[in-house]
Amino acid sequence: MSGNEAVARGAYEAGVRFAAAYPGTPSTEILEEFSKYDGVYAEWSPNEKVAVEVAIGAALAGAKAMAVMKHVGVNVAADPIFTVSYTGTNGALVIITADDPSMHSSQNEQDNRHYARFAKIPMLEPSDAQEAKEYIKLAFAISEEFDTPVFLRSTTRVSHSKSIVTLSEPEPYIDKTALIFNAEKYVMVPHCARLRRVEVEKRQYKLKDFAETFPENKMEIQNADVGIITAGMPYNYAKEVFPDYSYLKLGMVYPLPEKLIRDFASRVKKIYVIEELDPFLEDQIKALGIQVIGKEIFPYTNEFDPGVIRKAVLKEGLPAVAYPERLSPRPPNLCPGCPHRALFYALKKQKAFVHGDIGCYTLSYMKPLEGMHSCICMGASIGMTHGMSKAMKEKGKGKVVGVIGDSTFLHSGITSLMNMAYNQSDALVIILDNSTTAMTGMQEHPGTGFTLMGNETKKVNLKELTSALGIENIRIIDPFDQKETQKAIKEELAKSGPSVIISQSPCVLFKRTAKKPKPALKVDAGKCEGCRACLDLNCPAIFWKKGIKKEGSRRAGIAHIDETLCNGCSLCAQICKFKAID
Partner 1 sequence: MIYNEVKNILFAGVGGQGILRASDIVCEVVMNAGWDVKKSEVHGMAQRGGCVTSHVRFGKKVYSPLAEPGSVDILVSFEKMESLRYISFLKKETAIIVNNDKILPPEVNLGETAYPLNIIEYLEKNYKKVVSVNATSLAKKAGNVKAANVVLLGALSNLLNVEKSLWGKVISGAFPEKLKNLNLEAFQSGINA
Binding site for partner 1 (CB under 8 A): 25-26, 104-105, 128, 156-157, 160-164, 235-237, 239-241, 243, 305-307, 310, 317-323, 325, 327-335, 360, 363, 440-441, 535, 538, 540, 542-544, 546, 557
Nearer to partner 1, 207 or 507 (CB): 507
Q: From the CB of 328, what's the least distance to partner 1, in Å?
A: 4
Q: From the CB of 318, what's the least distance to partner 1, in Å?
A: 3
The per-residue DSSP string of 387-420 comes to HHHHHHGGGGTTTEEEEEEHHHHHHHTHHHHHHH
- DSSP run (H or E) holding 144: helix 129-146
Three-state SS at 81: helix
The per-residue DSSP string of 341-390 comes to HHHHHHHHTTT-EEE--SSGGGGGGSTTT---SB--STTHHHHHHHHHHH
Map 209-275 to HEC letters.
Answer: HHHHHCCCEEEECCEEEEEEEECCHHHHHHHHHCCCEEEEEECEEECCCHHHHHHHHHHCCEEEEEC
Question: Distance between CA atoms of 19 and 298, rounded to whole angstroms?
Answer: 37
Q: From the CB of 28, what's the least distance to partner 1, in Å?
A: 8
Q: Which residues contact 70 (CB under 8 A, 6 or more apart)?
A: 24, 25, 26, 27, 97, 98, 99, 100, 106
Residue 15 phi, psi (nearest 5): 85, 15
Nearer to partner 1, 117 or 532 (CB): 532
Nearer to partner 1, 96 or 360 (CB): 360
Q: From the CB of 390, what's the least distance to partner 1, in Å?
A: 33
Nearer to partner 1, 441 or 449 (CB): 441
Nearer to partner 1, 174 or 318 (CB): 318
CA distances from 550 to 531, 544, 555, 557, 559 (A): 12, 15, 8, 8, 13
Q: From the CB of 288, what's the least distance to partner 1, in Å?
A: 28
Q: From the CB of 523, what's the least distance to partner 1, in Å?
A: 14
Question: Distance between CA atoms of 570 and 575, rounded to whole angstroms?
Answer: 9
Q: From the CB of 565, what's the least distance to partner 1, in Å?
A: 10
Q: Which residues contact 113 (CB under 8 A, 6 or more apart)?
A: 123, 125, 153, 253, 254, 278, 280
- DSSP run (H or E) holding 123: strand 123-124
Q: From the CB of 335, what's the least distance to partner 1, in Å?
A: 7
Nearer to partner 1, 192 or 520 (CB): 520
Residue 290 phi, psi (nearest 5): -100, 130
Nearer to partner 1, 326 or 351 (CB): 326
Instruction: Give the closest residue to 331 by CA, choosing from 367, 370, 376.
Output: 367
Question: Distance between CA atoms of 543 and 401, rounded to whole angstroms?
Answer: 31
Nearer to partner 1, 160 or 295 (CB): 160
Q: From the CB of 358, what's the least distance to partner 1, in Å?
A: 12
Q: From the CB of 558, what's the least distance to partner 1, in Å?
A: 11
Residue type, 34: F
Burial class (CB in 10 A: 0-12, 13-18, 19+), 12: buried
Nearer to partner 1, 441 or 506 (CB): 441
Nearer to partner 1, 562 or 582 (CB): 562
Question: Distance between CA atoms of 246 and 220, rounded to whole angstroms?
Answer: 5
Q: From the CB of 441, what's the least distance to partner 1, in Å?
A: 8
Cα–Cα–Cα angle for 149, 14, 114, nearest 5°?
Answer: 30
Q: Strands 123-124 and 150-155: what pairing?
A: parallel
Burial class (CB in 10 A: 0-12, 13-18, 19+), 548: exposed
Nearer to partner 1, 293 or 366 (CB): 366
Nearer to partner 1, 354 or 358 (CB): 358
Q: From the CB of 237, what's the least distance to partner 1, in Å?
A: 5
Nearer to partner 1, 211 or 308 (CB): 308
Q: From the CB of 150, what's the least distance to partner 1, in Å?
A: 25
Q: Do residues 371 and 339 lie in contact, with contact meaning Cβ atoms separated by under 8 Å?
A: no
- Its sign, for the CA torsion 113, 115, 117, 123, is negative
The torsion of the CA quartet 261, 263, 267, 269, rounded to 10 degrees, works out to: 40
